[in-house]
């Protein structure tokens, strides 16, 4: 009988019905009971095990709910599914782990935390968490009004962005915002132009929406108007604050040409102003969006490098037409950025801390970039072409190499050095270009890292 090997412990903290349920489930999983086999009646199993009928009924009901048993009126309970049970295995840790032995990290996943506002940030977060009326409700689909008001002020003050609060949409990073934008654009965004070599994360979103990607060439000032007209694109994605061709801001004259293209063709410009306010060698150049008088620019801004990467707050400023469309659909979208962090950041900005943080970071990154450029000149001399990408907080280094940038990066990783393989304007079959981010690496590690890069470059010439 089914109940013969079952042993129930009345002294156990596990309820009796649960013990019985688990015992029957395990026997079904072990194959001791076959599909279609009739189970003992509730009365019979209760008498044999010395438990109440209620205990058996609860166990049988749970087994029915999970699909192991089925109740047939006027007939009884039958085995419905013989799911073979195995001891549970913990999920494999699929999180990307730090490769062993990375001594010098010129990757872009970290920022300099010196003089960081972690304690101050905790204070603002605690302040929000103490307000039960706030944390007990969902956030606004467009972003918290208090934060959007501060973002509008910040955008106009520091980036020259025409950003009314009702046209701002907050999200947990640029990718979720781009996904929303692609949904709004629909078929209007059939062909997207990206300045070569582009931004992989944005390109991934466009491809996920089955949009055609057109890599755009450029001259020394960035993508050209002639290239835009010839490519027949509907949407242009670029970062005027840090063009791929120069690593410097796009000239105002070229920006005006691009806006004229958008106005004439009905095209749309997505301006990703990544770290546009972090320029430290000269004053930040205002965003292109502030020059737009025809509603042809969507502006994207983020704070991952200004505050800390783990706080996921980005924002998008929509033209009037798209903002109205989003207003009609917005209630169907869930907010992706934490309501608590949004409100904490709103208070942080309101009290003037974001401007103070910017001033500190500009000084820190000016010193770090200067040191890295000096070390590269010392070790490579004229053998390498070095280009500072200021707002990207990195340096592109192109040097003679017999292997690709990807292979060289793999060789560097084996030696304990992380660099970012990239495609530079001078790269060909005889050169490789790698990107060195100075945002997270400590100054005392820079010399060792550059020395090791020079050694690896010499070995792969």
Q: What is the pLDDT of residues 228-276, one digit of tens each?
A: 999 999 999 998 887 765 567 888 899 999 999 999 999 999 999 887 7
Cβ neighbours around 133 below 10 Å, total? 6
Which segments of 301-381 does DSSP mark as H helices, in order?
Answer: 320-329, 339-350, 353-380
- Identify whether the C-beta of residue 156 lies closer than 8 Å to the C-beta of residue 349: no
The answer, as to whether pTM is greater than 0.75, is no
Interval 431-455 mean pLDDT? 91
Q: Assign 317 to helix, strand or coil.
A: strand
Structure tokens that stand for 325 in this block: 């469309």
**Residue (of 225, 327, 207) closest to 267 by Cα position:** 225
Domain boundary among 334, 349, 366: 334
Q: 190 and 286 share a domain?
A: yes
Q: What is the mean pLDDT of the chain?
A: 85
Q: What is the pLDDT of residues 30-74, one digit of tens each?
A: 878 888 889 899 998 888 888 899 988 998 998 888 888 899 988
Instruction: Kindly report the CATH number assigned to the domain that includes residue 259.
Output: 3.40.640.10
Instruction: Kindly report the CATH number assigned to the domain that includes residue 38.
Output: 1.10.10.10
Cα within 13 Å of Cα(280), Cβ side: 23
- Asked whether residue 122 is assigned to any structural domain, the reply reads no
Owning domain of residue 376: 104-111+357-459
Q: 172 and 287 share a domain?
A: yes
Per-residue pLDDT band at 94 (split at 50, 70, 90): very low
Residue 424 has pLDDT above 70, yes or no: no
Q: 66 and 166 share a domain?
A: no
Interval 334-357 mean pLDDT? 92
Q: What is the pLDDT of residues 298-331, one digit of tens each?
A: 999 988 877 777 888 999 999 999 999 999 998 8
Secondary-structure percent of the chain, ordered helix, strand, coil, rounded to 5:
45, 15, 40
What span, in angstroms and rounded, lies between the C-alpha atoms of 398 and 282?
24
Number of domains forming the structure of the chain: 3
- Return phi, psi of residue 217, to 5°: -75, 175
Burial of 164 (0-12, 13-18, 19+ CB in 10 A): middle
Q: What is the pLDDT of residues 3-39, one digit of tens each?
A: 556 878 888 888 888 988 888 888 888 878 888 889 8
- For strand 76-79 and strand 104-105, is the pairing parallel, antiparallel, or unpaired? unpaired
């Amino acid at each position: 009988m089914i109940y013969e090997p079952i042993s129930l412990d009345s002294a156990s903290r596990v309820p009796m019905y649960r013990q019985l349920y688990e015992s029957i489930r395990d026997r079904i999983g072990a194959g001791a009971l076959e599909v279609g086999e009739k189970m003992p009646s509730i009365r019979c199993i209760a008498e044999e095990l010395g438990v109440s009928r209620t205990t058996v009924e609860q166990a049988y009901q749970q087994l029915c709910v999970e699909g192991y048993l089925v109740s047939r009126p006027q007939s009884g309970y039958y085995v419905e599914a013989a799911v073979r049970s195995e001891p549970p295995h913990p999920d494999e840790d699929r999180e990307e782990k730090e490769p062993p032995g990375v001594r010098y990290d010129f990757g872009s996943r970290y920022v300099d935390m010196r003089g960081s506002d972690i304690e101050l940030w905790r204070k603002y977060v605690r302040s929000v968490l103490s307000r039960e009326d706030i944390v007990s409700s969902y956030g606004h689909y467009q972003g918290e009004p208090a934060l959007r008001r501060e973002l509008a002020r910040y955008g106009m003050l520091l980036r020259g962005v025409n950003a009314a609060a009702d046209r701002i949409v907050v999200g947990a990073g640029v990718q979720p915002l781009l996904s929303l934008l692609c949904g709004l654009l629909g078929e209007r965004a059939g062909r997207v132009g990206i300045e070569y070599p582009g931004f992989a994360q944005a390109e991934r979103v466009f491809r996920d929406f089955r949009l055609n990607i057109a890599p755009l060439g450029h001259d020394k000032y960035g993508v050209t108007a002639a290239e835009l007209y010839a490519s027949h694109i509907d949407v242009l994605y670029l970062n005027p604050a840090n063009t791929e061709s120069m690593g410097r801001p796009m000239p105002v004259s070229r920006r005006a040409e691009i806006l004229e293209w958008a106005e004439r063709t009905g095209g749309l410009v997505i301006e990703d102003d990544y770290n546009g306010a972090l320029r430290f060698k000269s004053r930040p150049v205002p965003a292109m969006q502030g020059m737009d008088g025809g509603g042809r620019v969507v502006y994207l801004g983020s704070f991952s490098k200004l505050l800390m990467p783990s706080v996921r707050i980005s924002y998008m400023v929509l033209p009037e037409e798209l903002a109205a469309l989003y207003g009609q659909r917005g209630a169907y979208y869930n907010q992706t950025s934490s309501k608590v962090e949004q409100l904490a950041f709103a208070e942080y900005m309101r009290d003037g801390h974001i401007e103070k943080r910017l001033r500190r970071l500009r000084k820190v990154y000016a010193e770090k970039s200067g040191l890295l450029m000096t070390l590269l000149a010392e070790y490579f001399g004229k053998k390498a072409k070095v280009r500072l990408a200021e707002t990207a907080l990195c340096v592109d280094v192109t040097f003679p190499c017999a292997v690709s940038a990807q292979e060289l990066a793999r060789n560097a990783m084996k030696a304990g050095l992380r660099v970012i393989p990239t495609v530079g304007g001078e790269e060909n079959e005889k050169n490789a270009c790698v990107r060195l981010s100075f945002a997270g690496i400590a100054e005392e590690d820079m010399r060792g890292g550059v020395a090791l890069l020079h050694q690896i470059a010499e070995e792969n010439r």
